[in-house]
């Protein structure tokens, strides 16, 4: 098992707090986050799977670190509207991380889930990005669609964040897993603030193996499941989104789930 280290650093790279290294670590940071502060996880290995909880008001998540390290930048206070008002505030923060054993990773799960994803966070997967995010606002960022929050009967700041496409029919959403995985089902939860919202009647998913699936969607606020033929992929793109012919110009995506399992063709942990 790899040994990991967890640290909080300031914008100049100075260490503010560090946890003793181990296979499972907990760090208590007694300070208020300042602009530019960030979190680092380091290890003595590569191709690492960890369960992380980098903010005690947010749930833990399973992430993959190809190089064995990650950098997580604390979202600035003025650009944190897609997080709980409790997140990253106050004078005490508990951070946790542990290395996962292979046996813990063999169950089928949502491989897309990562509430710690973001534009500036690097070194870990899954990771979402899009060619369009409405007005560049945090409440419409791509990462919102993999954060595990399914509250979709309104729109705007947390807990109603979503991926917004700024009314652009050429909008595309990309999800990278960072390694080959075996996927067998997609689930889309559309934002359902009707009648403010519209919805998509169809979308196409193109997988990194060259295969594709056309998804027929309905006007619904519940997750819409699409079982697919299992395939080994490293990424996918959701595109060619066809809006329903209603009066609203605002379709949006609350959650994308991708169910499947890890592939261990070689030793990865």
pTM: 0.95
Residue 141, SS3 per DSSP: coil
**pLDDT greater than 50 at residue 268:** no
Q: Which residue has the higher pLDDT, 224 or 265?
A: 224
**Predicted confidence band of residue 121 (pLDDT cuts 50, 70, 90):** confident
How does DSSP assign 185-219, residue by residue? EEEEEE---TTT---EEEEEEEETTS-EEEEE--S
**pLDDT greater than 90 at residue 222:** yes
**pLDDT greater than 60 at residue 77:** yes
- pLDDT above 90: percentage of residues in the chain: 96
**Predicted confidence band of residue 269 (pLDDT cuts 50, 70, 90):** very low
pLDDT attached to residue 87 = 98
pLDDT attached to residue 266 = 54
Mean model confidence pLDDT for the chain: 96
Strands annotated E in 19-116: 24-29, 38-43, 48-53, 61-65, 70-73, 93-99, 109-110
């Amino acid at each position: 098992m790899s040994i990991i280290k967890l640290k909080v650093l300031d914008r100049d790279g100075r260490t503010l707090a560090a946890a003793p290294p181990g296979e499972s670590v907990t760090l208590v940071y007694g300070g208020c986050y300042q602009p530019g502060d960030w979190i680092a996880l380091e290890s003595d290995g590569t191709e690492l799977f960890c369960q992380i909880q980098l903010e005690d008001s947010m749930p833990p998540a399973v992430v993959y670190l190809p190089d064995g390290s990650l950098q997580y930048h604390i979202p600035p206070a003025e650009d944190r509207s897609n997080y709980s008002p409790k997140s990253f505030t106050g004078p005490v923060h508990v951070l946790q991380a542990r290395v996962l054993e292979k046996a813990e990773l063999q169950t089928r799960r949502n491989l897309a889930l990562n509430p710690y994803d973001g534009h500036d966070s690097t070194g870990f997967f899954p990771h979402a990005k899009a060619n369009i995010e409405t007005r560049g606002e945090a409440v419409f960022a791509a990462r919102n669609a993999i954060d595990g929050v399914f509250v979709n009967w309104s729109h705007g700041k947390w807990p109603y964040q979503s991926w917004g496409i700024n009314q652009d029919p050429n909008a595309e959403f990309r999800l990278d897993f960072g390694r080959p995985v075996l996927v067998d089902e997609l689930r889309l939860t559309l934002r359902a603030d009707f009648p403010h919202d519209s919805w998509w009647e169809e979308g196409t998913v193109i997988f990194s193996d060259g295969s594709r699936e056309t998804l027929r969607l309905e006007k619904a606020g519940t997750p819409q499941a699409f079982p697919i033929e299992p395939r080994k992929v490293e990424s996918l793109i959701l595109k060619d989104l066809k809006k329903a012919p209603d009066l609203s110009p605002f379709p949006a995506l609350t959650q994308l789930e991708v169910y499947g399992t890890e592939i261990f063709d070689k030793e990865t942990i």
